[in-house]
Amino acid sequence: MPEYSSNEGPLEQARTYGNLLVFSARRSPLALTPEHVATIAHLARLEVRDEDVSGYCDRLSRILEFVAQLEAVDTSAVEPMAHAERMSQRLREDTAVPVSERDLFQQNAPATDGGLYLVPKVIE
C-alpha cells in the first residue's frame, strides 16, 4: 500500500490503483470540500447536481464530525461486533431451486428484449 505523509489533505491525495480509490487516512474530523463530495458521489454512483453540492458538503461534514466522537473511546481490547447475535452462519446444501418466473420478473425491468435485460452499450 502506498504511504502518504500526514500533512496531506484527505481526498486531494486520493489516488486510483486499479479500480480502488485509496484515501489517505487521517484522524481528525474534516470539513468536506465540493471535490470530496464529487469523489464520494462518484464512488457511490450518484449524480449530485451542482446546486446541491454545498448542501451535501455541509450536512455530510456535520455527520462525520458527529460520528468522530467515537475516536475518543478506548477500544484497544475490544473485538469488533459484526452481527447482533453471535451466531454462526447457517449453511445449506448447494442445490439448485429453479424459479421459472422470468417473464414476471421482467415486467419490472425498464427495457428487455427476448428475455434479456437491455442496458446502454458498454463496449464500443
Does position 104 interact with other proteins (CB under 8 A)? The reply is: yes
Number of residues that bind other proteins (CB under 8 A): 59
3-state secondary structure of 69: helix
Does position 96 interact with other proteins (CB under 8 A)? The reply is: no
Pure H helices in 1-124:
34-43, 50-67, 102-106
In angstroms, give the least distance from the CB of 30 to other proteins.
Answer: 10
Contact 1, 18 (CB under 8 A): no
Sign of CA dihedral 121, 49, 41, 34: positive
57 by Cβ neighbours in 10 Å (0-12 / 13-18 / 19+) ranks as: middle
Site for other proteins in 30-89 (CB under 8 A): 37, 40-49, 52, 55-56, 59-60, 62-64, 66-71, 73, 75, 78-85, 87, 89
In angstroms, give the least distance from the CB of 74 to other proteins.
Answer: 10
The site for other proteins (CB under 8 A) is made up of 20-25, 27, 37, 40-49, 52, 55-56, 59-60, 62-64, 66-71, 73, 75, 78-85, 87, 89-90, 92, 101, 104-105, 107-111, 117, 119-122
